[in-house]
Amino acid sequence: MKKLKRNGIAWSLDDEALVSLVDGLSEGFGTKRTHEIRGAHGRDVFVKYFVERGFLGMVRNWVLPRGKREYVVGRRLSSLSIPVPFPLGYGRGKRGSFILQERIEAIPFLSAFDKGPHRERLADGLAVLLDLLRKERVRHNDLHLENIMVDDNGLYLVDLHKTKVRRFLFSRADEVVNLTHALTMVYDRMTRAEKDRFFNIYGRPDMRPLVERGLGTLRCRWIESKKGRAFSTTSRLVASGNRVYVRGREEEALGAFVESIKEDRKVRVERHEDHIRKTYRSRLRLEKAWQAHVALEYLEMEVVPRPSYVARASLLGGGYVAMEDLKAHGEELDRFLDRGYDRMAPEQRRRFAYGLSEFFGRLLEKGIIHRDLKACNVFVLSDGFRLLDVEDIVFAAPTEETMRRMLVQLNTSVPERICVSDRVRFLVNLVSRFSFDRKRLLREVARSSRNEEIVYEGVSGLKKESWRGHRRGSLPPSSHSR
């Protein structure tokens, strides 16, 4: 290995031909970017710089620089026939370290999975790669799908500086970490058949329940980290003064006041020319609302009104969230049913029930729960649904009790005349997506609903009704109609 020093950087290079490549490199190149591609004697080399900060970073850079660690691990994985960009050398400076690797013409796995026509082949390749890691006792520790690259020859692992190769025992916990990190970005997009095929090719169908529990835990941790930075500048947000904007929406929601929609002890809701402004009396509720908006932005789920920015409370007024105005495109679920249910043909009702259950099923599978799921907090659009009162959204794995409570809230906030068959259709289609006891849950929803009064906002105003139109011994009030 060739040892030399250039511009204050100590280099260790596999090939004399690489010397000319590092001659012009300095740590300054890492101030604005952390990688670049350089040519050396007819081949392209990928150069990556690891910036170290603080006392601990300085110690790490002195004891075991990340560039050197990635080089050593990459060499080890190559010897095990695990596909990685081949390491060519490394360097250590005062403020960080470098890794030099063979350049591969590849794109991130997630981009290929989303855009390409070879979805099944890619999922099969991922299962084979993960099986190889298990057999060779390799735990990557950061195996999200941006760290798996795809080219015409297959899949490659990158970002190896956290990777560990176990000498003896590769535990079940190691295996779950690899699987959950790799699957977290795509698992909810896979069909049941695709999931079955994946675990069969991986060779361990018994791991599926463990992985699915691990995915739920991982998602909650990830969401909590995004919520924790909801008032900071990030890849999705721009903090400026007392406002935090969703990046790219800094020039939105500027219109003048039009009318007051609602005001109570918790919130004031106003319509402006180009947005809705929801002002919170409580700082805590404002923070909860914005954190939920931010988490959903990161999840890329259009299930609430599109937010533009949050303004923190000041001496002159409470904090508020500025968001899109949905009113021109639909109405709340209770009013929608009160206005149009009687005019729906049976097939329309079936389609509506199916669409609404699919919407809630997708939310619950993602661990998105609304703690005040009255029908007035569900907005019906021509092409789908949205949740209102975002401050009541929490992120957690659904339980049978969670499902019962949500369904009772919905069931007792729609018109009494919604027939039992439509209510049951909605419930059965929703609950069938989960491993709950369907019959027991249906009975519990019916029993709990009968003890509640029906209260909803109809076309002509607030309405209160009883369950006199339903036989006490029949299947529910179990969910609602669509």
- The residues of the chain scoring below 50 in pLDDT are 470-482
Encoded amino acid at 373, one letter: L
Encoded amino acid at 117, one letter: P
Is 477 domain-assigned? no
Per-residue model confidence (pLDDT) at position 232: 95
Number of domains in the chain: 4
Is 478 domain-assigned? no
Q: What CATH number is attached to the domain comprising 38?
A: 3.30.200
Are residues 318 and 206 both part of a single domain? no
Token pair for 233: 């500048």
Distances (CA, A) of 139 to 176, 203, 221: 10, 18, 20
Per-residue model confidence (pLDDT) at position 219: 84
Residue ending a domain, choose from 84, 102, 120? 102
Residue ending a domain, choose from 325, 353, 373? 325
Per-residue model confidence (pLDDT) at position 200: 96
In this structure, are residues 93 and 13 in contact, taking their beta carbons and an 8 Å threshold? no
β-pairing, 9-13 with 87-92? antiparallel
Per-residue model confidence (pLDDT) at position 406: 94
Are residues 88 and 138 both part of a single domain? no
Are residues 461 and 335 both part of a single domain? yes
Are residues 217 and 279 both part of a single domain? no
Per-residue model confidence (pLDDT) at position 316: 66
Give 259-306 pLDDT, tens digit per residue.
Answer: 999 999 999 999 999 999 999 999 999 999 999 999 999 988 899 999
All residues at 6 or more sequence positions from 244 whose CB lies less than 8 Å from its CB, including other chains: 230, 231, 232, 237, 238, 290, 309, 310
Per-residue model confidence (pLDDT) at position 469: 53
Are residues 242 and 361 both part of a single domain? no
Per-residue model confidence (pLDDT) at position 168: 87
- Domain residues for the domain of 216 are 107-224
Token pair for 213: 């529990």
Are residues 269 and 315 both part of a single domain? yes
Are residues 297 and 420 both part of a single domain? no
All residues at 6 or more sequence positions from 411 whose CB lies less than 8 Å from its CB, including other chains: 423, 445, 449, 476, 477, 478, 479, 480
Are residues 90 and 184 both part of a single domain? no
Q: Which residue's entry shows tokens 């002159």?
A: 316
Per-residue model confidence (pLDDT) at position 481: 38
Q: What CATH number is attached to the domain comprising 158?
A: 1.10.510.10
